Amino acid sequence: MGKIFESTPAYQKGLIGEEIVQNFLEFHGCTVTRPQDTAPTGSSTVDFVLNAPKKFSLWKGTELVEVKVKTTMGYSYKRFPVYVFPVSQMENYRRYAADKNLCLNFFVVDEDREQIFWRDLSELETPWRFEEKTFPADVEQSNGLHRYYHVKQFVPVGRPNFADLERLRSINLSHADKKILRPLKDVDELSDEEIITESRAAVKNFLDIKLPDDLPTSDEKISVFVDALRSSLRRIPTYRFREIYHAVRNLNAVNAMSAFAEKFYALLDAVKCERQRADYQTPHMFRPSTPAKKFAELHAPDNTTVEIFALEGDESKLFAEMFQLATAFGCDRRGLIHSDFGNAVKATSRFYTLNFGSTDKKISAVPVKDVPAILKDYAFNRTDDAEKFLDAKKFLSWWKVAVTKF
């Protein structure tokens, strides 16, 4: 691969995108390696081969991985946000996967949407109707035939670290690019002055500091200053971290305090990593020998049902059906053991597999007494979505009342 191409912004962004996805997969328990047919120059048809833990949620065994750093463009009078790929490139990926007889996973790192998106190639190529358009759609451009995928064909699976987002954003594709101030939440358009005022208020509220007024002058003192903020961050739910990140980033854009910002982003990432780390091997499932009996049904605020089962032993124990419980407060059921909810169970409780009555039916369950701790861990540590945080908190309030009758 030519040295000139390797120095281009697009190539450098691509390398960072690969690092982001590799780190994301390894954090989730996967082993990631380069393909065996990678050329001495480092070039290969696809980026990685992954080996996922047994019974993992999204990936199973050995699969292929291709990573793209993309931002959306508008299609059909900008009504449809799409990711665009050359058709020849997509066909090359399809042939390669067929030749290896392996599933090919596409990951898109979108720095504007601050998300890592995923979908396997076979699902991407399955026709999908949205309003009057069918995706993927092949569109002729001046530089050849391109395939348009609607963003909703991809599944959000995680977020890049804050430090990695800054690395991506530091590489400008155009000399005309500039730092853009962003509101801390999805709100109507604000002026730059309003965004800066909002950012200063957020930093003061969450960290009890004024930026840049309170910053020390030397790098050594800045490191000590940043580390002292760790205790403040530990008291803040994970879903507020993105708000704090944007507040600091906005202030850095107008005050040039990069020495502080870089260290602070790394601290945000470290605290988030500490609280979200989980074992992605298949957990031990406790299997009591005594059959469980249905004890009660709870009807959650969204009208879903959560069945409660009793297990007789030295003393009566009650269990909630795990998949129903997750559904009742809006958690994605797919691959539940290794989801944010499943990781909260690992941190605060344990998984049970119960025999239901005299049949061979199995029930995945968690102890009723542990549900409050599971929900608190999920809400505070796991989710980075404000709506999911609030849903879990509301469900917990309902749950505490609903189980008092047992």
Model confidence pLDDT, tens digit, residues 57-112: 788 889 999 999 999 999 998 899 999 999 999 999 999 999 999 999 999 999 99
Q: Any idea which residue has 């199995």 for tokens?
A: 362
Residues of the chain with pLDDT under 50: 1, 4, 175-176
What are the backbone dihedrals phi and psi of residue 209, each rounded to the nearest 5 degrees, phi first? -135, 160
Distance from the first to the final alpha carbon of the chain: 68
Both tokens of 145, joined, read: 């035939």
Rounded-to-integer distance, Cα 374 and Cα 367, Å: 10
Please name the residues in contact with 399: beta carbons below 8 A apart, sequence gap of 6 or more.
Answer: 371, 372, 375
Rounded Cα distance, 94 and 155, in Å? 20
What per-residue confidence (pLDDT) applies to 6? 66
**What's the CA gap between 318 and 296, in Å, rounded?**
10
